[in-house]
Structure 1
Amino acid sequence: MPEGHTLHRLARLHQRRYAGAPVTLSSPQGRFAREAAKLDGQLFTSAEAYGKHLFHHYGPLGTVHVHLGLYGTFGESPLPETDPVGQVRMRLTGRTHWTDLRGPNRCELLDAAQVDAIKARLGPDPLRRGAKPDRAWERISRSRTSVAALLMDQAVLAGVGNVYRAEVLFRHGVTPLLPGRALDRGQWDEIWTDLVTLMRAGVRVGRIDTVAPEHLPAAMGRAPREDRHGGEVYVYRRAGMPCLVCGTPVAHQTLAGRNLYWCPTCQPA
């Protein structure tokens, strides 16, 4: 599932390409046809992201809410348009580009109250201005649930997924199974600050990089990571491989249906 930096990157892209002008909207697949017809030819006012949610605003006509889920993707192309390929839920066409949305978990037209309700259910997003990390800390500091599970709970913290979860805990030496209420406040403040830095970098470059310069392939004389997610990481999807810091094999288990990775030596229980 795309993590928060991907949605913020898309929001910035769509803001540049479509905001401030009328757009053409259609649903080649048909599942969003009635909503698309209502917005076709109307002014696209702005785009924004909150956590893993993307919002396309059309003023008083409403907001298109997209949640990509596990399989959703956006395809971006310059004009001229070509015929749709596959199951295109929504096609958005502007002055210079067109965008196809396929396979989202959610693609729906909402009013302002419904958008506010979605945002109210989410925890603070490290990529949004004015985010309040104390809101997340209030939940974490009272919980017996593991820190690893809490960081993935979008009601606690919005936008963090499996990669950022694994990597930020490694970078701060926190064992993922530590109960939230056992986490030190100073550790939480450092984790939040690091997430802001890492996720902002992810927005800029379009991938997740978490390793320090001394652990990059060139510095260590190792081969670059080969993974469809891209980026250089410490533990994510490196189960059984030596830790880049201490050499201990990276551990793996399933937690709440998601894969969990950590170094038993660098993140002691």
Structure 2
Amino acid sequence: MFAGQVVDVDSPQGRFADGAGLVSGRRLEDTEAYGKHLFHHFAGELSLHIHLGLYGKFADGELPVPAPVGQLRMRMSGDAHWLELRGSTACEVLSPVEVDAIRVRLGQDPLRDDADALTAYRKVGSSSKALFALLLDQTVVAGCGLIYANEVLFRAGLAPATPGRAIGAAQWVEIWDDLRALMKEGVVRGRIDTVHTAHTPEAMRRAPRIDRHGGEVYVYRRPGQPCLVCGSPILRGEMAGRNLYWCATCQKDR
């Protein structure tokens, strides 16, 4: 949207005023996503780093820029469009060294073409931690959120508590490839749908329902409801401080 343009950046809320002053009036050269981190790279080796966290959100539109409303952290405008950011965990201007420090601590991102499943497996295969926790560990798999962690384990037929070291490299690659395909479909469709997918058979022969996360899921937020495959009730628990959902019949303990 803004690549190659000289952009205006401000902070109506005021919390990002100093950072906005550093990048406003510079050319935005590139935008890069790595896991849940977004980097806007500006001329002069400065990068705007954004992490939405649980409550951050973007809004955008065509010029003219609307009057600011509420707690607006950052606003960017270019030749024809504007972008607004609210409620993010991080909104800061970083040097190349600081950007590299974030990249180094992140794991492999399934959405990136330079990601490597076996690099991630070196951490997974040597760990006694549960696969559910490993999928949500951003130092192992960058960008996998709670819905995908629950759903990809159901699709693999693995109980959430299965230790990483209990699976081999080939099985991990299958999980990785499925996760990568699901996440890429989510980007294209603009919703998370793990049942009606392009690369696996569907369990149901109807259009996906639309709910809060956007599409159809097998287990996520379906406790007590029948499994779409076997009919057993979906179970709910907690692990690593996060909600997990699984089918005890389809996902056997290892």
TM-score tier after normalising by the smaller chain length? over 0.9
The code of the aligned residue for 1:191 comes to I
1:72-83 alignment runs, 5 A limit: 72-83=56-67
Match of 2:190 among 199, 203, 206: 206
RMSD after superposition: 1.3
Percentage of identical aligned residues: 55
Q: Is the 8 A contact 1:65 1:110 kept in 2?
A: yes
Q: Distance in 1 between matches of 2:63 and 2:162?
A: 51
Q: Which residue of 1 aligns with 2:14?
A: 30
SS across alignment from 1:126: coil
Q: Distance in 2 between matches of 1:113 and 1:38?
A: 17
Unaligned runs of 5+ in 1: 1-16
Higher mean C-alpha deviation, range 43-52 or range 132-141: 132-141
The code of the aligned residue for 1:243 comes to C
Higher relative contact order (CA 8 A, sep 6+): 1
Q: Which residue of 2 aligns with 1:218?
A: 206
Displacement after TM superposition at 1:184 (Å): 2.5
The code of the aligned residue for 2:76 comes to L
The code of the aligned residue for 2:229 comes to V
Q: Is the 8 A contact 2:4 2:30 kept in 1?
A: yes
SS across alignment from 2:218: coil
Q: Distance in 2 between matches of 1:54 and 1:114?
A: 13
CA pair 34-241 structure 1, distance change in 2 beyond 3 A? same
Residues 65-94 of structure 1 deviation map (CA, whole Å, 9 limit, x = unaligned)? 000001000011211111111111100101
Q: Distance in 1 between matches of 2:73 and 2:86?
A: 5
SS across alignment from 1:230: coil
Q: Is the 8 A contact 1:45 1:57 kept in 2?
A: yes
1:4-19 alignment runs, 5 A limit: 17-19=1-3
Higher mean C-alpha deviation, range 208-217 or range 180-189: 208-217
In the alignment, structure 1 residue 245 sits paired with structure 2 residue 224: no
Moved over 4 A (4+): none
Match of 2:117 among 101, 125, 133: 133
Q: Distance in 2 between matches of 1:264 and 1:125?
A: 29
In the alignment, structure 1 residue 66 sits paired with structure 2 residue 50: yes
SS across alignment from 2:32: strand
1:99-138 alignment runs, 5 A limit: 99-138=83-122
Displacement after TM superposition at 1:135 (Å): 1.7
Q: Which residue of 1 aligns with 2:158?
A: 174
Q: TM-score, normalised by structure 1?
A: 0.90
Q: TM-score, normalised by structure 2?
A: 0.95
Q: Which residue of 2 aligns with 1:14?
A: none
**Greater share of helix:** 1
Q: Distance in 2 between matches of 1:245 and 1:36?
A: 51
Count, aligned residues: 249
Unaligned runs of 5+ in 2: none
